[in-house]
Amino acid sequence: KQEVTQIPAALSVPEGENLVLNCSFTDSAIYNLQWFRQDPGKGLTSLLLIQSSQREQTSGRLNASLDKSSGRSTLYIAASQPGDSATYLCAVRPSGSNYKLTFGKGTLLTVNP
Amino acid sequence: DAGVIQSPRHEVTEMGQEVTLRCKPISGHNSLFWYRQTMMRGLELLIYFNNNVPIDDSGMPEDRFSAKMPNASFSTLKIQPSEPRDSAVYFCASSPDGSNHGYTFGSGTRLTVV
């Protein structure tokens, strides 16, 4: 059974810092991995989607990497801003079941002005 | 595209009442998912539809829960009778066919059963 773990559970940083959020998964047989952002009381917004054949994806100040063999992904946020404060979730789509996402519990990020 | 549209945004109901949550997926997306989010359990898949057909309902917690997808543009999740432990945020998501696509989530329905 696929399990997804996100570390740390919460992170507080001053504005302007570069930071890394971690995601690990137990079964490396995946189709893709997706990073989401969730603001309090809101839905999930997709940030980046990395296919199993890819090493990384970039969007603006965000960079996500994937090391499928070791079961790890990182989300790098450059020059953090207070508006980046949210919960960040990673989810993997296992290759054995090509529709079912398995989510981590998320990292609650607070960027202090 | 307006994205995945869910209604209502908030629902407060008394224990024992019937609750119906609604979802309109993105046009052209063949797959539709209902998820439930709680603090304790995080995000859990309740049911998955493909081309309007329920494929996997193993996550539906009990017989009080039912879901339908009468056409490609509409799905409902019904709880009857509702219980306080059903209080959660319910999300609908859709995706095109194919493993190289991501999911798009709606804004969710926050259900409170008192």
pLDDT, tens digit, 9 for 90 and up, residues B53-111 = 999 999 998 899 999 999 999 999 999 999 999 999 999 999 987 767 789 999 999 99
Q: How far apart are CA A15 and CA A23, in angstroms?
A: 23
For residue A6, the model assigns a pLDDT of 96
| Residue of chain A minimizing CA distance to B58 | A100
B36: exposed, middle or buried (Cβ count in 10 Å: 0-12, 13-18, 19+): buried
| Interface probe with A: pick from B39, B44, B92, B103, most Cβ of A within 10 Å | B103
For residue A101, the model assigns a pLDDT of 87
| Interface probe with B: pick from A35, A99, A108, most Cβ of B within 10 Å | A99
Sign of CA dihedral B21, B105, A12, A55: positive
**pLDDT higher than threshold 70 for residue A9:** yes
Contact B104 A106 (CB under 8 A): no
Q: How far apart are CA A79 and CA A19, in angstroms?
A: 8
For residue A1, the model assigns a pLDDT of 82
Banded pLDDT at A111 (limits 50, 70, 90): very high
For residue B99, the model assigns a pLDDT of 65
Residues of A in contact with B48 (CB under 8 A): 99-100
Q: How far apart are CA A5 and CA A91, in angstroms?
A: 10
Contact B42 A31 (CB under 8 A): no
**pLDDT higher than threshold 90 for residue A100:** no
DSSP secondary structure of B35-70? EEEETTTEEEEEEEEETTEEEE-TT--STTEEEEEE
Touching check for A60 and chain B: CB below 8 Å?
no
Touching check for B71 and chain A: CB below 8 Å?
no
Q: What is the pLDDT of residues A32-51, one digit of tens each?
A: 999 999 998 888 999 999 99
Mean pLDDT of A47-66: 95
Q: How far apart are CA A48 and CA A104, in angstroms?
A: 15
Mean pLDDT of A42-68: 94
Contact A43 B95 (CB under 8 A): no
| Interface probe with A: pick from B10, B36, B43, B44, most Cβ of A within 10 Å | B43
Contact B48 A42 (CB under 8 A): no
Contact B102 A49 (CB under 8 A): yes
Mean pLDDT of B17-33: 96
CA distance A103 to chain B (A): 7
